[in-house]
Structure 1
């Protein structure tokens, strides 16, 4: 019964909260992408930990802009919350400031608004999907989701890019990882997944995902805390195959804007 409930929850998907925006694209699908730069960044609702309750969307935007990514997986994103400003949609504002398209996937209600994950894309978004990850009712946990978009990186060449933020409890993370593999395994499209997995490389969660995805690094540099980081829990991975090859993985030493360090990966597109 429990497995059936998980499967039902995992298949619930909507196209709510999709906002492609109208910035001028810096990449055109007609121009074949030889390489892609991908970032994953837990942005701590744009609240620098050393700045009290201050919200600085600009600080996160500067970090992203400097890295010049083609895709960004964002976690801990506020939309119209009291703490971040009722009129502020952080996903949309980051898209505006960086000149990218965006898609937001709500996880929970928070302070009169929404809180969840998002993606930014240099390429126009052709399709977008939010789907809910399962939580075992016996142990509880916060609702988690995936934001996934389909884009065309070259004429007739589509890929999926997705962002997620797994639960704090390992049993939930394991089930969520299984559902991610099951859900996206149904698609023949190449896929890149970035996120805060709340799990280290030697965990059961990452070891399971390593059996179905190629992680951009094996001896991955730590991403938290931002001062004297000691744990790597933020990763970028992609479906195995001939489409992508890792050229480099870098953890950016940016200690002000968030409580996580961003990860930037350069991929060769074959």
Structure 2
């Protein structure tokens, strides 16, 4: 009897290596991966093209709210301009209406106020950065800017999300793209960039950016004009590597709120 009891105790003390297949490391779900929904949207200073001079911030907010994004890259944002209303900060108002945080970066003075790009974030903004993008003085062009935020999307997991709007002239777009790449080339954080690049998918600008970023789609649906769109110039990009991968990309068929269609992308971030 004593020998039998001793044998039972020995068996109980030995760790069991027989486990369910789902408990094996190769079969466990990646609990560290997080799905993000991101959007880029040129909002035409919240002026629906079919509505004359009307400013309809609520219309843009409804488009954003319906998609429930974690981050939004906004272009053509007015702050305290005459056309949009003195004392009216469109990025701040959109943040309030969508329940998000915001960061605005001014590109130019406009009608007594500011005009530029912005970022909306579902997560608290830990840090922010803005910088001007170069314009060749000989070629001329409208000054452009970059807005970026750092946010913690999970415990100890941070990303940089940026918004930009490149110039209409290709040489300026190239130098502007080069500055963005250079600015973040030493960063170890995942970088996601949304914007109106004013560049077609096979342009020199996008070919250059393809050397440093991954597009969320290779055959991307048109984003402009909103009625019978025939050109793709709005994109979501991210730094290459095994940290981020695209789950889906779609262009929203919203023809009232702006003169661009918004792009919504689902990403998996490890």
TM-score, normalised with respect to structure 2: 0.88
Work out the CA distance in 1 between the residues paired with 2:149 and 2:268. 20
Moved over 2 A (4+): none
The size of the alignment, in residue pairs, is 240
Work out the CA distance in 1 between the residues paired with 2:103 and 2:33. 21
* Higher-RCO chain (CA-CA 8 Å, sequence separation at least 6): 1
**Contact 1:243 1:269 (C-alpha < 8 Å) held by counterparts:** yes
Deviations 1:209-242 (A, max 9, x none): 0110000000000000000000000000000011
Q: How far 1:186 sits from its partner (Å)?
A: 2.1
Secondary structure at the counterpart of residue 229 of structure 1: coil
Deviations 1:116-175 (A, max 9, x none): 000000000000011011111111111100000001111111110000000000000011
**Contact 1:33 1:153 (C-alpha < 8 Å) held by counterparts:** no
- Does residue 223 (structure 1) correspond to residue 262 (structure 2)? The answer is no
CA radius of gyration, larger in: 2
Structure-2 residue corresponding to 1:25: none
Matches within 5 A, 1:70-85: 70-85=70-85
**Contact 1:106 1:145 (C-alpha < 8 Å) held by counterparts:** yes
- Does residue 132 (structure 1) correspond to residue 132 (structure 2)? The answer is yes
Q: Which range moved further: 43-52 or 179-188?
A: 179-188
Unaligned runs of 5+ in 2: 1-30
Structure-1 residue corresponding to 2:242: 242
Work out the CA distance in 1 between the residues paired with 2:33 and 2:117. 26
Structure-1 residue corresponding to 2:109: 109
Structure-2 residue corresponding to 1:49: 49
**Contact 1:32 1:153 (C-alpha < 8 Å) held by counterparts:** no
Structure-1 residue corresponding to 2:14: none
Q: How far 1:33 sits from its partner (Å)?
A: 6.3
Q: How far 1:32 sits from its partner (Å)?
A: 6.3
Unaligned runs of 5+ in 1: 1-30
RMSD: 1.0
Q: Which range moved further: 239-248 or 49-58?
A: 239-248
Secondary structure at the counterpart of residue 139 of structure 1: coil
Q: How far 1:245 sits from its partner (Å)?
A: 0.7
Secondary structure at the counterpart of residue 91 of structure 1: helix
**Contact 1:32 1:155 (C-alpha < 8 Å) held by counterparts:** no
